[in-house]
C-alpha cells in the first residue's frame, strides 16, 4: 500500500478521529488491529518455517492480487480498490493511523484519490504462505501529483500485506501496514 503523503494526509481520517461508519460514530482505535496483525504475522512466519516456500501458483496469484491493488491506486478507482481488500480489512499507516473495515478504508481513500494522483511502483521482497493466509513484504516508491497543482514529489518506504484467500480462491488484503522512509539501498 503506498503511503499517505503529508500533503494528502489531511484528506484521510487520523488516529483518534471520530468517524461515521454505518450510521454510527466510532473512534479509530489502533491497539486491537495492530495486535491482531502482529499475532497473525508471527503465526504465519512460524507456520511457514516448517512448511517451506509457497508454490509457484500461490506466488503468481499473490503477485496478481498485489498488482490489482497497484492498478486501482494508479487509476484512482475506488471500486477496484475495494475489491483488493477482504471484508474487515485493516490498514495501519506509518503514523499510526488505523482504518478498520472497508467503510473506513473507502472513506479515507475517497479523499486521498480526490487530493491527487499517485503512481506507485513496488518490489516484492518476500512471500510466505500458510494455508489460506499469506504474508508479503515489499518496498515501494510512489510519485504523487497533488490535485492542487503543487509540485509533484516521491515517497519511499516498505510495507507488509497479509492476504487471506477467499472461498472463491482469490487472495485479498486482510491487513496492510507500511512505513515511509528513505529510498531503498541499491542491491548488493
Q: How far apart are CA 94 and CA 81, in angstroms?
A: 20
**Residue extents of the structural domains in the chain:** 6-181
Please report the DSSP string for 58-101 in residue order: HHHHHHHHHHHHHHHHHHT-HHHHHHTEEEEEEEE-TT--EEES
Give the chain's mean pLDDT.
Answer: 80
Report pLDDT for 43: 53
Q: Indicate the CATH number of 6-181 among 3.10.450.50, 3.40.50.300, 1.20.1440.230, 3.80.10.10.
A: 3.10.450.50
Mean pLDDT (whole number) for 112-124: 94
For the segment 137-158, the average pLDDT, to the nearest whole number, is: 94
- pLDDT range class, residue 12, cuts 50, 70, 90: very low
pLDDT band at 1 (very low <50, low <70, confident <90, very high): very low
**pLDDT (0 to 100) of residue 72:** 96
pLDDT band at 95 (very low <50, low <70, confident <90, very high): confident
Q: Is the pLDDT higher at 82 or at 30?
A: 82
Residue 17 has pLDDT above 70, yes or no: no
* Rounded average pLDDT over 72-84: 96
Residue 36's pLDDT band (boundaries 50, 70, 90)?
Answer: low
The pTM assigned to this predicted structure is: 0.73
Residue of 31 and 102 predicted with greater confidence: 102
- pLDDT bin (cut points 50, 70, 90) of residue 93 is confident
More confident residue, 161 or 11: 161
Find the angle CA(104)-CA(109)-CA(112) to the nearest 5 degrees: 135
The strand pairing partners of 27, in sequence order, are: 18
What is residue 38's predicted lDDT score, i.e. its pLDDT? 52
Amino acid at each position: 500500500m503506498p503511503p499517505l503523503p503529508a500533503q494528502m494526509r489531511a484528506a484521510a481520517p487520523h488516529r483518534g478521529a471520530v468517524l461515521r461508519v454505518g450510521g454510527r460514530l466510532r473512534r479509530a482505535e489502533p491497539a486491537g488491529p495492530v495486535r491482531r496483525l502482529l499475532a497473525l504475522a508471527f503465526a504465519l512466519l512460524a507456520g511457514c518455517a516448517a512448511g517451506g516456500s509457497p508454490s509457484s501458483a500461490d506466488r503468481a496469484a499473490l503477485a496478481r492480487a498485489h498488482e490489482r491493488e497497484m492498478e486501482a491506486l494508479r487509476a484512482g478507482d475506488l471500486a477496484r480498490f475495494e475489491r483488493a481488500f477482504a471484508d474487515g480489512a485493516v490498514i495501519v499507516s506509518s503514523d499510526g493511523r488505523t482504518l478498520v473495515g472497508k467503510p473506513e478504508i473507502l472513506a479515507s481513500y475517497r479523499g486521498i484519490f480526490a487530493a491527487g494522483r499517485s503512481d506507485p511502483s513496488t518490489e516484492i521482497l518476500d512471500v510466505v504462505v500458510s494455508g489460506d493466509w499469506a504474508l508479503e513484504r515489499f518496498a515501494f516508491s510512489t510519485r504523487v501529483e497533488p490535485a492542487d497543482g503543487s509540485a509533484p514529489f516521491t515517497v519511499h518506504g516498505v510495507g507488509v500485506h497479509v492476504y487471506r484467500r477467499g472461498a472463491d480462491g482469490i487472495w485479498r488484503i486482510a491487513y496492510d501496514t507500511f512505513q515511509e522512509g528513505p529510498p531503498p539501498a541499491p542491491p548488493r
